[in-house]
Amino acid sequence: MEHGSVIVRFSDVTFGYDEKHLLMEEASFSVREGAKITIMGQNGAGKSTIFKMITGELKPMKGTISISHGASIAQQKQVMAKEFLPLTIREYFETAFPDQTVYDIDKRIKDVLEIVNLEIDLARKLDKCSGGQQARLLLAYALIQEPDVLLLDEPTNNLDVEGIWHLTAFLMAYQKTCIVISHDANFLNSFTDGVLYLDARRHKVDQFVGDYLDVVNEIAAQVERDRMKNARLLKEIQDKKDKVNFFANKGGKMRKLASKLREDIEEAEENIVDVRQEDRTLGQFSIEAQDFPQPILTFTSVDLLKQNTPITRALDLKVRKNTHVLMTGPNGIGKSTLLQAIAGAAANGVSLADGVRVGYYRQDFSGLDFSKTAFQILTETGDGHPDEEEVYETAARFLLPSRLLHHPVGSLSEGQKGLLCYAQFFLLKPGLLILDEPTNHINFRHIPVIAKALNEYKGAMLLVSHIQEFVDEIRIDETIDLEKLIEKE
């Protein structure tokens, strides 16, 4: 697809959070006006870092980043800033236009809320919105600005199927530049026409043109070609080394031949390709369950929201060991609020048995202390407080290298934070798993492995997920349909 002039250019950019661990080294690429680009790469390769450099939040160690003069940039944030929480939804969107009065602001808000499939009272305060509603509002906030460069980081998180369709249609029709980080392959293939591939091993950014799935296949084919070329070269090198060892002990012409073979070996070694590394996939794992024979959760009622009004509905349910419960309902009904209260043993009408260890996956990772290191988080997990060796082994199992364990959790990528949660569950051996959108930020390659582990989990589980393919892979014993429950008088 033809596009306009270059709007974003990275020229020989080197960046790392310290000199010893670079994310990219002399990386160069450009993005043209109107392009729809996907950023690919392993967890922690620097995908979100590229966004921060485009917005100016981070500066490169070396090289230059050029943004077309006058080009506006808007980025979808992952977490609602605290200063916005006291505002109404209307006031929040008005802050997107600080230097102008937008007279049709309500219509424009309505249009972008339709894109993210959210119906909500514009007079509602942000601190009264659920986590899922806030996530959709953050996406809508970026969309309403209609910037020259739109940066989207996992935009399908917290969107249901209809919401993803609405967003896809919007992006297909969007005339300006859009750069996306996402692990949703079908979503990406619907509208992107190029890929920036970040290779964590080579610290390079490779640029590809084409549909997302075509590029994925092209990368896989190139990896296989590189591996075959290296195998051939290594075989030739070893054969020549064997000849050198033989001829070097001979005299005259044989010794000259050995010298020539050494030159050939050096040239062959220089031609060995640094093979691109694909995302590593989690190995199979299991989450051991705490042995807890009595009912773990007892429901007599639940507190919900109906048109922003708190209501209580009766619910007679006992959740025992080896019982998987799916909780469904639209955004704004109070799912995340209910799960948070249950996790803290503070939910009205819900009793949590004493002594139950609870593993809680919060969709925004706010349950993690971002100031602590990943090593501290894992060391403090469970009653047994695992020793150092067990912590390192577990972290490696969940693709968290030892060099990251002593960095603050806040510096980890979103995908790494998600894997850290699963590492916690592995060590915790919980009696109850509370999972609020547990595929958020998780690489699509890992999701089948995680689904298998959850399917085989023998403890009690409360699950909220909008990814039907993921839910279909997990045994569900009970379903709490909050929408049906809320309509009962």
Report the SS3 class of residue 315.
Answer: strand
Distance CA 215, CA 220 (A): 9
Identical topology for domains 6-215 and 297-487: yes
Mean pLDDT for 317-335 is 90
Residue 158 — very low, low, confident or very high, per pLDDT cuts 50/70/90? confident
Radius of gyration of the chain (CA): 26
Rounded to 10 degrees, the C-alpha dihedral 408/414/417/422 comes to -170
Q: Which two tokens stand for residue 140?
A: 């809508």
Asked whether residue 160 carries a pLDDT value surpassing 90, the answer given is: no
Q: Which two tokens stand for residue 29?
A: 């690429």
Q: Which two tokens stand for residue 291?
A: 């042995």
Going by C-beta distance under 8 Å and a sequence separation of 6 or more, which residues neighbour residue 19? Answer: none
Question: Is residue 141 within 8 Å of 126, Cβ to Cβ?
Answer: no
439 — phi, psi (to 5°)? -100, -5
pLDDT of residue 1: 47
Residue 275 — very low, low, confident or very high, per pLDDT cuts 50/70/90? very low
Mean pLDDT for 73-80 is 88
49 — phi, psi (to 5°)? -65, -40
Q: What is the pLDDT of residues 16-54, one digit of tens each?
A: 877 777 888 899 999 999 999 999 887 777 888 999 999
Range of weakest confidence among 2-6, 59-63, 128-132, 209-213 = 2-6
Asked whether residue 341 carries a pLDDT value surpassing 60, the answer given is: yes
Strands 62-67 and 6-18: antiparallel
Distance CA 467, CA 187 (A): 13
Going by C-beta distance under 8 Å and a sequence separation of 6 or more, which residues neighbour residue 359? Answer: 287, 421, 424, 425, 428, 430, 432, 433, 434
Which residue carries 């390079």 as its tokens? 204
Q: Where are the domains of the chain?
A: 6-215, 297-487
Q: What is the pLDDT of residues 212-264, one digit of tens each?
A: 888 777 877 776 777 777 677 677 777 767 766 766 666 666 666 666 666 76
Question: Is residue 13 within 8 Å of 157, Cβ to Cβ?
Answer: no
Mean pLDDT for 87-95 is 95
| More confident call, 466 vs 171 | 171
DSSP character for 72? -
pLDDT of residue 259: 66
- Per CATH, the number for 297-487 is 3.40.50.300
Q: Which two tokens stand for residue 370?
A: 């971002």
Please report the DSSP string for 241-310 in residue order. Answer: HHHHHHHTTS-THHHHHHHHHHHHHHHHHHT---PPPPPPPPPP---PPP---S-SEEEEEEEEEETTEE
* CATH topology classification for 6-215: Rossmann fold (3.40.50)
pLDDT of residue 466: 82
Q: Where are the beta strands (DSSP E) in 332-459?
A: 350-352, 358-361, 432-436
pLDDT of residue 272: 57
HSE (side-chain half, CA atoms, 13 Å) at 259: 6
Q: What is the pLDDT of residues 165-214, one digit of tens each?
A: 888 998 999 999 999 998 788 888 888 989 998 877 778 888 888 888 88
Question: Is residue 404 within 8 Å of 412, Cβ to Cβ?
Answer: yes
First to last CA, the chain: 56
Fill in the amino acid letter for 51.
F
Mean pLDDT for 432-461 is 91
pLDDT of residue 250: 62
| More confident call, 233 vs 317 | 317
Going by C-beta distance under 8 Å and a sequence separation of 6 or more, which residues neighbour residue 376? Answer: none
- The burial of 438, by beta-carbon neighbours within 10 Å (0-12 exposed, 13-18 middle, 19 or more buried), is given as buried
